[in-house]
Amino acid sequence: MINYIIRRLGYGVLILIGVNLFTFVLFFTVNTPDDMARMNIGGKRVTQDAIEKWKVERGYNKPLLWNAQKPGVEKITDTIFYERSVQLFAFRFGASDSGRDIGHELRQRVGPSIALAIPTFLLGIFVVIVFSLLMVFFRSTYLEFWGVTLAVFLLSISGLFYIIVGQFLFSKTLKLVPISGFSGGWDLFVFLALPIVIGIVSRMGGEALFYRTMFLEEVGKDYVRTARSKGLSETTVLFRHVLRNALLPILTSTVAVLPLLFLGALIMESFFGIPGLGSYTIDAINSQDFAVVRSMVFVGSALYIVGLILTDISYTVADPRIRLS
C-alpha cells in the first residue's frame, strides 16, 4: 500500500513536470515575451522601447534556458525557465504581470472559494441522491417518467441561464438576497445562499440521471431480490441495501473532484462577485495576465493529480476486495 502510494506520487511528479514543460513551451516559445508585452500594453503601434521596459520590469528580459553571460550556477538559475517554471515546484509563484504577489493572492482567495464550493458540493450530493432514489422508488410510474423528463430538461439548459434568471428573480424582483458580493460573519449566508442553490440546480439534471442508472443496476441484483423475499419493506431495501452498495461507485467518483473544489467555481464566482480563485482566474484571462494563468494551471494540475491518487486509495477503503499493487 505505502509502496503503491509512493509510486503513484512519483508518477504524479512526472506528470507535473510534463505540465510544466508544456505550459512553458506554450507561453514562452510559441508566444514570445514580446507578444505578451504587446498584448498587455495594447494597441498596434507599440514602440520597441516600451516593450523592453515592460519586459525588464517583469523579469522577462532574461534568456529562456541558458544565460551564457553569468558565472557558475547562475547560467541556469538566472533564466526565465528557472525563475518562472522551476520555482513553481516549491510553490513560489512570483509576481503577477500587474506586479502583485501571486502566492499571497492565492492564500487570500482560497477561503471564499471553499466557502462556496464545499456547501455546494455536499448539499448537491445529498439533493441528487434523494432525487434519484425517489425516482427509483417510484420506478415504472408516471412520477419517474416526469422526474426523468425534468432531469433531461435541466440538463439541456446552459448554466449561465440559471445564474442570470436566478439573480433576476431572487435578487432583483423578490429582493431576497443581494445580487452579488461577499463578506464575513453571518452575512456570509445571505451572500452565498443563491450561488449555492444555483450551483446545485445546474448540476442536478445530469448527475441525477447518472445516479439513477447506478441505483437501477443495483436494484436488479440477486441480493435485493433476497432482501425482498425475506419480507423487508421497499423502503428498507432501498435505503439500507441498495443505497449502501450503490454509494461505492458514487463516492469513488466524487473523490476525484474533491481537490478541484479548491480551484473554485469559475463562472459562479465571477457572476456573484465572490473574491475566490475562480474569479481570479477569469480576471487573469481577461486582462491577459499570463503569470497568473500559468500559476493556476500548475495548481490545478497538482490538485487533479492528488484527486487521482485519492480515488485509488478510496477504492481500497470502500471495497476491501480491491488490493493495490
Partner 1 sequence: MPKLVFLATDIALYVLIAVIAFYVWHALRTPTLRQTWRSVLHDPAAMSAGVVLAIFLVIAMLDSFHFRPLLPPAPGAPADAAPAYSTRTLSVLDALLAGPREAREKTYSVPLGTHQFSKESMLVDGKSVRDFPRLQFGGAHLKDPATEWLGDVLQRSAIGIVGGAVAAVVLWMVISALRARSAGTGVTESLRAIWNRTTEVPWRAMLLTATVVALLAGWVSALWPYYHVFGTDQTGNDVLFQAIKSIRTAVVIGSLATIATLPFAIVFGILAGYYKGRVDDVIQYVYTVLSSIPSVLLIAAFVLMIQVFIDKNPQLFDTGLERADIRLFLLAAILGITGWAGLARLLRAETLKLGELDYVQAARAFGVSDTGIMRRHILPNVTHIVVIVAVLDFSGLVLYEAVLSYVGVGVDPTTNSFGTMINSARNEMSRDPVVWWTLLAAFSFMVTLVLSMTLFASAVREAFDPRARAFRVKRSKPSPKGAAVAVASAAS
- The answer to whether residue 35 forms part of the interface with partner 1 (CB under 8 A) is yes
- C-alpha 202/C-alpha 212 separation (Å) is 17
Of 268, 86, 252, give the one whose Cα is nearest residue 159: 268
CA–CA separation, 234 vs 243, rounded Å?
12
Residue with cell 472559494: 113
Residue 44: exposure state from Cβ atoms within 10 A (0-12, 13-18, ≥19)? exposed
Q: Does 312 bind partner 1 (CB under 8 A)?
A: no
Q: Is 282 in the site for partner 1 (CB under 8 A)?
A: yes
Number of alpha carbons in the 13 Å side-chain half-sphere of residue 170? 20
Tell me which of 67, 79, 301, 314 binds partner 1, using CB under 8 A: 301
Q: Which of 150, 300, 311, 316 binds partner 1 (CB under 8 A)?
A: 300
Between the CA of residue 227 and those of 107, 134, 237, 245, 257, what are the distances in Å? 51, 19, 7, 13, 34
| 29 binds partner 1 per the rule CB under 8 A | no
Site for partner 1 in 209-238 (CB under 8 A): 209-210, 213, 216
Instruction: Considering the complex, state which of residue 154 and residue 188 has its C-beta at the smaller distance from partner 1.
Output: 154
94 closest CA partner among 63, 41, 57: 57
Q: Does 172 bind partner 1 (CB under 8 A)?
A: yes
Considering only 66, 89, 126, 145, the residue that binds partner 1 (CB under 8 A) is 145
Binding test (CB under 8 A) with partner 1, winner from 3, 158, 229, 235: 158
| Grid coordinates of 74 | 547562475
* CA atoms in the 13 A half-sphere facing the CB of 61: 12
Is the Cβ of residue 67 or residue 80 nearer to partner 1 in the bound state?
80
Report the interface residues with partner 1, using CB under 8 A: 14-15, 18-19, 22-23, 26-27, 30-31, 35, 39, 44, 139-140, 144-145, 148, 152-153, 155-161, 164, 167-168, 172, 209-210, 213, 216, 260, 263, 266-267, 281-282, 285-286, 288, 290, 293, 296-297, 300-301, 304-305
